[in-house]
A and B are shown apart, each in its own frame.
Chain A
Amino acid sequence: MKKLTGITAAAVLLGSTGFAAAADGAVSLESGKDIDMVLLPKFLGILVFDQANEGAQEAHAELGNPGELLFVGPTPENSTAGQIEIMTTSATQGQGAVMLSNNAGDQISPSALAAQKAGTKVVTWDSPIPSGEGEDVFVAQVDFGSIGVVMADMAHSILDGAGEMAVLSATPDASNQNAWIASMKEVLESDEKYADITLVDVVYGDDQAEVSYNRALALVDQHPDLGVIMSPTTVGIQAAAKAMQDEGLCEQVRVSGLGLPSEMASYTMNGCAPEFALWDFRDLGYLTYYTAYGLASGQLTGELGETFTAGRMGDYTIEQDPGREGSKRILMGPFTVYNAENVEAAAK
């Protein structure tokens, strides 16, 4: 009853005064609710997803949930069908919530809608459902629009204001990747500052190290004047940096994008990847868990404007997703740009 009045109070507060007052009405989640949850990554065997799992496990322990937190995912070659299968199975099992980093595009929607109908909350993180159908809320790591600015800025600084850039992405239908690339294109076109930077190509390495490595080398062959490879994926940026290092091309072509300090430190120090950015996947897993726990235990309603406290990370508010009309998001932000000065400390 107490929590109910809390929510009502928050809703009333928000209704009358809007976002500014949100901090006062933040819902504090009661711990100890028994809720089974599933953390479903794009596929298994990627470090950042393991880190997200660590964050979720941390929140799981902190909230004292006697239920089970499962980390299950498909194999890389079976990602789409596997995610649909796990989503369907979770609904059958009566899981309280599925936390999904979507790799199936809109193909996940029918199974996600069915899961919601069966009473399972669907919280996406890292990569949302493009249409928003079947999704309760998306926990966004950073503002998708601002990633474009950061990538454009890194390219600008590496190229010293002028030169050719190519993008090495993950899979052609990863909605997060596409949104970031689109946002970067927009920034490049709209701001005079980037007038001398040309985006010459966008290629896909499928988030597999070997494919990405070969795609990076192919880019250098096809574009002799290429100055920077921008890879907004941790697998791609590392593979590209290794390719440039192996072929002794680091003087000519630099690598940048989104990478993990622990994987990128050596390339940053030797100049192959002088600058890159990322957010903390542990925090993302942690915040996602709090969100899903709140929704599945009924302590959060998932309404726009609702604010809650996510443990050590502070208060967050459910808001309209500017990139996807009619969908909701919780914005984690901000992210860190790593260079020779701070990368080694972060890699530890």
Chain B
Amino acid sequence: MKNAMNRLRSWEGFLLCALIFIILMNASLSHQFLSFSNVINLFQLSIEKIIVALIMTFIIINAEIDLSVGSMMGLSACAFGVLVQQGVPGGLAILICLSIGVLGGALNGWFIAKVGLPSLVVTLATLIGFRGLARVLVEDRGINDFPDWFDALGQKGIIAGVPFALIAFVVLFVILYVVLQRSGFGRKTYVIGTNRDVADFAGVDTARHKMIIFIASGVISAFAGLLYAARVGAVRGDVALGFELDIITIVLLGGVSIFGGTGTLTGTLLAILIVLSLRNGMALLNVTGHIQTGVIGLLLIASVIAPRIDLSRVFGGGGQQRTQK
């Protein structure tokens, strides 16, 4: 356990070094990189993904996966568009969309926690299902007549030029950090992720725990979908299509093990900053999309391999056999 903690610490240390390196590189290659507006843009362009990455950290530490987050974002955004178009007041529409998030998350949670189906299968199904619903709602249209205050919330700064979504991200990070790293709920998240049977025998209500996490994932995804709609001022059926992969990539890069039980929100935060700075830096240097995707892919491979090499040294390779089957 102590070794594992050391490894974790060193992985985060590695991420921190990488981050500093990337920031220095970017700052030296592009004089706009550290400007206030660019830093805001850097977060804003991916703000919905990084908000969901926070709750995804809980899910993966819990040895589960939620592939439906991108579709839930799309469903929530499209539902908002349709509701507003039908004349429902914006505030009420937001509440309805968040409720859709709760219901969708509960649906995932029920199949996974109570029925006992693998989360990969359940959320793959809801990935398709939620997306289908979103497309049915808006059909082939784009909807862009949102209330002005809603657009402003997504596009303008509210405190000292910092937009609402970024503040929401920071607040959510602090709350989730305390929950995961400082509370009993957080400790249970790790225990269940390490070995659910042991947790069951120890008297932890693992089903309830998973239910709560999946509902949180649903509602945060729905919230992120609304932020997206506000930021771009329009929705259509393909909103947030494929976002789940970027989100999971960030979490894994942050050192959270896909097999559950290890990882921290600090790691996720560092990974977020790395991916965002890297993408932004490459964009400022006019590196095209294909190469950007390739570089992020290489990073992910490195992030999966590096800890494993480390682990096999620590445990003499024995610890890996179980997971490689």
Contact = CB atoms under 8 A, between A and B. Distances in A.
Contact of A92 (B144, B235, B284): B284
B290 A44 contact: yes
A105 interface: yes
A89 B280 CA distance: 8
Interface stretch (B34-42, B96-104, B165-173): B34-42
Interface in A210-268: none
A110 B288 CA distance: 22
A105 B283 CA distance: 22
A109 B234 contact: yes
Interface string B31-49: 0100101100100110000
Interface stretch (B124-132, B201-209, B216-224, B236-244): B236-244
Interface stretch (A4-12, A47-55, A72-80, A316-324): A72-80
A305 interface: no
Size range of the interface on B?
20 to 34
A131 B233 CA distance: 11
Contacts of A148: none
Nearest to B35: A92
A74 B282 CA distance: 13
A178 B144 CA distance: 16
A74 B45 contact: no
Contacts of B139: 172
A172 B286 contact: no
Contacts of B41: 88-89, 92
Interface string B103-138: 000000000000000000000000000000000000
Interface in B276-298: 279-280, 283-284, 286, 288-290, 293
B232 A84 contact: yes
Interface in A94-138: 94, 104-111, 114, 130-131
Interface residues of A, number: 36
A106 B232 CA distance: 8
A103 to B, nearest CB: 10
A105 B234 contact: yes
A81 to B, nearest CB: 8
A53 B289 CA distance: 17
A86 B280 CA distance: 10
Given A85-B45, A130-B142, A107 B232 contact: yes
A68 to B, nearest CB: 8
Given A74-B289, A84-B45, A107 B234 contact: yes
Contacts of B26: none
Main secondary structure of the interface of A (DSSP, over half): helix
Nearest to A86: B283
Nearest to B30: A93
A110 B233 CA distance: 7
A78 B289 contact: yes
Given A109-B233, A172-B237, A82 B38 contact: no
Contacts of B232: 84, 104, 106-111
Contacts of B148: none
Contact of B142 (A78, A84, A105): A105
Contacts of B289: 43-44, 72-75, 78, 82
A232 to B, nearest CB: 15
Nearest to B32: A92
Contacts of A130: 142, 144
A62 interface: no
B231 interface: yes
A108 B140 CA distance: 17
A91 to B, nearest CB: 8
Contacts of A204: 140
Given A73-B289, A107-B233, 9 more contacts: A77-B241, A78-B293, A89-B283, A92-B35, A93-B32, A106-B142, A111-B232, A173-B237, A204-B140
30 contacts: A43-B289, A72-B286, A74-B289, A75-B293, A77-B241, A77-B242, A78-B242, A78-B289, A78-B293, A84-B45, A84-B232, A85-B279, A86-B283, A88-B41, A88-B44, A89-B41, A89-B283, A89-B284, A92-B35, A107-B232, A107-B234, A109-B232, A109-B233, A110-B155, A110-B231, A130-B142, A172-B236, A173-B140, A173-B237, A178-B140
